[in-house]
Structure 1
């Protein structure tokens, strides 16, 4: 594809894709928004029907518009006034409705600039995208906004009727009876969501959750935390020295305040880090970063703490060795992180809550791009390499002005690409890059 960009194909219609389409329309650029289902704007995170699944970010920070921080709170005031607390954590279901509302409003103001297409994209091709029925949608540029993939840790055992390989699949948790005991691989946000759903539905069983370090997401305080300004020692030098400084500052003013101070500059710090530093972060620091950075609402933390106190949730640290199952039970052999060998874990069900199974070199859309040299995998295997504007780098390291990545799949380049405030910034960068070429 050469010449100016007159049309954009957006692959994935969740928050990232829908809000990119809206922003492009407001800048006068047409797009085709392609989604597997008719639920444009929701994605996995905001398609939950359960109001106990709360946002992990306060409502005051969840505006879809960077220049209008109060946009989401005003929407709540208009449609759900009892939940319009700027410091509160609204149900994710309502945020999904908000995203859909904004998309519809932009479509009404700019008719014809956004085309919705319900389809499965099979491949990225020079002409644009090819659908699974063989049809080709022509586009001058393609933006991959495919969100988070399903977990992969359960592996071949996922075909068993006693294993739930993707807790977000429709009806995935419906087979679990009220008194069934369960095993969970992973102790992060997905595990939290699963336990919230089951507990609210009357489940009374026991759960054992296993992860490499046995860490649970931390909770927010009821009120926002004032950021601690990062010191020079926190921003530069050896990673071990910076970590010591973070601990010192946490002892002085609180770790939440330190994380708040780092939040606006995390992507820049990641971009400035050399490969060795990034590797150490991924291998050693990421689990600790995740549970402190991606916190849960106070009410959610209280439920998880309650399950632990009741003896219904046991969290263990170790590695999965093998998973075997039959129709009535599942067995997990594991190696403890510390101490002697422990007996295998057993339950009626095993649920893979290990988080997004990003594997760009095995993904049907990105693997062919890597194989052909149109894209390249970053050295740590986190995702495709991108330039600061979100353009995909080819095998030679040159940016492709017709191919972009936005949202969670862009984590190799920006690290923080999950929360709405971070994605919102990336949307503006991609829109600027696309419209500058139009």
Structure 2
């Protein structure tokens, strides 16, 4: 083909972001090639779980994959799993994975020839082409990097297996025996999933979770909280004034309503913030934002409370100094307010969250080395423009290279939850089909 406009869009990553972009492009008449390292197209890591204890962190009624059809998931549940079709409920993530697969397949059937699936590992991007590890070159009119969340990078993998560095790997937690105590790095959503998995396996040991702030994810209310109208002093001016205003509003109206008020305008506020303001937010406020913004279902919060009450879950505050592993134990050296401390247990599990590092991931590191991309000042990922295009070292947007989903967080911040990603999908679809 000589006319680039007739080429498909190449999407690197076949998880939720990539698969749902391919579906929306097909619905607009634009062909795409969806490249996934394995053969599981659609659900990605988060929605590939088979454990029904793993629940959505957003109410089912807000989880439709299409921006203008928020009830799409509820309609699907009503047709296929009516017992779970509660808009206010938190359905198993397994079912959401099935929904995403079904939407991709249904769209392929309705728009034959517009979505091509390709299994392979992309190792480089050259011009408008993705280069696979086999040497195959896949050319498109544009390339979208939708590579999802990488594994944690805090710990090395112990040769004896006492350090579980990638807890989402299938059967990674199987070696943990029912009576084993465990150390967990991180106290966020990944920790919650690990504890739920272990409990479903009959585990009855004790867990010590270590994080720098010792904060646990907050729970959703029993029903959706209506957002409040935020006053001007909560939206502009010094961060200290905004924070003080948000705290006063939370005391008066409840923190959930305040967070709901911020939710639809977070992207606008992030894009308008200076690099200094973003850096201050990340240094000082991010841990509190995360635990209030990315909440867990009430029934999951009740399970955590039970483990704490039974003294089977203890949360410690500290900074990691070093991690070691012997043939029988993992050892964690911490710096705490009370001085150095050492903890040990048969297992140490890394739940520190996705290890986004554009400077070491081969695909993005190569782009940076070629000056085709640059790292954002916050170092959260690649620098992008408002359309999601990668910015070159000189600040000029690349005409054909885009980033979507969690790897775009440096530019758009909230690109993890489905309601946020689907808005980016819609904007990118409109941009690519204009």
TM range (shorter): over 0.9
Find runs of 4+ consecutive structure 1 residues off by over 4 angstroms. 157-160
Q: How many residues align?
A: 433
Q: Can you list the C-alpha shifts for 1:115-150, whole angstroms capped at 9, x where unaligned?
A: 001111111112411111111112221100000000
Partner in structure 2 of residue 426 of structure 1: 424
TM-score, normalised to structure 1, is 0.97
Does the Cα contact within 8 Å between 1:191 and 1:353 map onto a contact in 2? yes
Residues 274 and 180 from structure 1, CA distance in 2 versus in 1: closer, same or farther, beyond 3 angstroms? same
The question of 1:411 aligning with 2:409 is answered: yes
Distance (whole Å) between structure 1 residues aligned to residue 282 and residue 70 of structure 2: 32
Aligned to 2:288: 288
1:74-93 paired onto structure 2 within 5 Å: 74-93=75-94
- 1:349 Cα deviation after fit: 0.3
Q: Work out whether residues 157 and 323 of structure 1, in 8 Å CA contact, stay in contact via their aligned partners in 2.
A: no
Rounded Cα–Cα distance in structure 1 between residues aligned with 2:23 and 2:349 = 36
Give how far 1:200 is off.
1.4
CA distance in 2, matches of 1:408, 1:2: 32
Distance 2:6 2:427 in 1: 16
Alignment check: 8 A CA contact 2:210 2:318 kept: yes
Pair 123,259 (structure 1): closer, same or farther in 2 beyond 3 Å: same
Q: 1:158 to 1:357 in 2, by over 3 A?
A: farther
Pick aligned residue for 1:385 from 358, 383, 394: 383
Given the superposition, is the C-alpha separation of residues 324 and 406 from structure 1 closer, same or farther in structure 2, using an over 3 Å criterion?
same
Q: Which moved more, 1:159-168 or 1:415-424?
A: 159-168
Tell me the residue number matched to 1:279: 279
CA displacement at 1:6 relative to structure 2: 2.6
The CA distance in 1 between the partners of 2:251 and 2:3, in whole Å, is 55
Structure 1, unaligned stretches of length 5 or more? none
Identify which range, 135-144 or 77-86, moves more after superposition: 135-144
Determine the structure 2 residue equivalent to 1:26: 27
1:130 aligns with 2:128: no
Aligned to 1:115: 116
Cα distance in 2 for partners of 1:64, 1:387 equals 24
Calculate the TM-score normalised by the size of structure 2. 0.98
Residue in structure 2 matched with residue 318 of structure 1 by the alignment: 318
SS in structure 2 opposite 1:344? Answer: strand
1:8 aligns with 2:6: no
Q: Give the Cα separation in 2 of the matches to 1:358 and 1:231.
A: 34
Query: 1:185 and 1:391, CA in 2 relative to 1: closer, same or farther beyond 3 A?
Result: same
What's the CA shift for 1:216?
Answer: 0.3
In structure 2, C-alpha distance between the alignment counterparts of 1:232 and 1:160, rounded to whole Å: 56
Query: CA–CA distance in 1 between the matches of 2:260 and 2:190?
Result: 23
Distance apart, 1:3 and its partner CA: 5.0
The residue aligned with 2:363 is: 365
Equivalent residue, structure 2, for 1:221: 221
Q: Check conservation: 1:5, 1:141, Cα contact below 8 A.
A: no
**C-alpha separation in 2, matches of 1:310 and 1:138:** 57
Gaps of 5+ in 2: none
Alpha carbon RMSD of aligned pairs, Å? 1.2
**How far apart in 1 are the matches of 2:3 and 2:392?**
16
Verify: 1:207 aligned to 2:201, yes or no: no
Provide the C-alpha distance between the structure 2 equivalents of 1:270 and 1:308, rounded to a whole number of angstroms: 36
* 1:350-379 CA-partner distances (Å, limit 9, x unpaired): 000000000001111100101101111001
Q: Secondary structure at the match of 2:314?
A: strand
Q: Deviations over 1:306-337 (max 9, x none)?
A: 1011000000111000111112101101011x
Corresponding residue for residue 47 of structure 2: 46
Between the aligned partners of 1:119 and 1:159, the Cα distance in structure 2 is 28
Aligned with residue 393 of structure 2, among 392, 395, 417? 395
* Residue 270 (structure 1) aligns with: 270
CA positional deviation for 1:4 = 3.1
Is the contact between residue 128 and residue 401 of structure 2 (CA under 8 Å) also seen in structure 1? no
Say yes or no: does 1:176 pair with 2:176: yes
- Contact 1:107 / 1:113 at 8 angstroms: preserved in 2? yes
Verify the 8 A CA contact 1:220 1:296 in the aligned structure 2: yes
1:343 paired residue number? 341
Q: Separation in 2 of the partners of 1:31 and 1:342? A: 54
| Structure 2 SS opposite 1:343 | strand
Tell me, yes or no, if the aligned pair for 2:65 and 2:72 is still in contact at 8 Å: yes
| 63-72 vs 278-287, which moves further | 63-72
SS of 1:112's partner is coil
Going from structure 1 to structure 2, the CA distance change for 1:111 and 1:198 (only over 3 Å counts) comes to same
Shift of the 325–397 alpha-carbon distance from structure 1 to 2, 3 Å rule, reads same
Deviation at 1:46, TM superposition (A): 0.1
Q: CA 1:73–1:230 in structure 2 vs 1: closer, same or farther (change >3 Å)? A: same
